[in-house]
């Protein structure tokens, strides 16, 4: 799998921090083949990322007979583009958190 330099740098920094957590945990560390673990080596719960970075809620649909959506403004990326921007911001925030 090809990874860009920034991703490789972040993963190496994370691995370095994980090794420090391993040393700090001592005998309580749980060996596993997982890349992302808790501070004692156990695998993350599958919902951890969802709870940590909740997705924006979908807007409530207009009731029948309500006014139609206004036309998108010029330069507006639309709902998918706005979601991509939000996702990009979350990825950048996560990268800053990982170091």
Q: Which residues contact 45 (CB under 8 A, 6 or more apart)?
A: none
Instruction: Please report the pLDDT score of residue 73 as a whole number.
Output: 65
CA distance linking residue 64 with residue 66, whole number of Å: 6
What pLDDT is attached to residue 77? 60
**Can you give the pLDDT at residue 61?**
60
Contact 20, 40 (CB under 8 A): no
Query: In terms of DSSP H, where are the helices of 1-99?
Result: 5-25, 48-52, 78-98
Per-residue confidence of the chain (99 residues) as pLDDT tens digits?
Answer: 788 999 999 999 998 998 998 999 899 999 988 888 888 888 888 888 788 877 776 665 655 555 556 666 666 666 666 556 666 777 777 877 776
Q: Which pLDDT score is estimated for 45?
A: 87
């Amino acid at each position: 799998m090809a990874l860009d330099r920034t991703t490789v740098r972040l993963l190496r920094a994370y691995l370095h921090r994980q090794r420090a957590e391993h040393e700090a945990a001592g005998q309580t560390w749980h060996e596993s083949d997982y890349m992302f673990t808790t501070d004692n080596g156990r695998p993350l719960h599958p919902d951890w990322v969802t709870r940590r970075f909740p997705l924006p809620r979908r807007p409530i649909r207009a009731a029948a007979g309500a006014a139609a959506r206004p036309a998108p403004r010029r330069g507006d990326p639309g709902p998918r583009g706005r979601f991509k921007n939000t996702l990009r911001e979350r990825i950048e925030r996560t990268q800053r958190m990982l170091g």
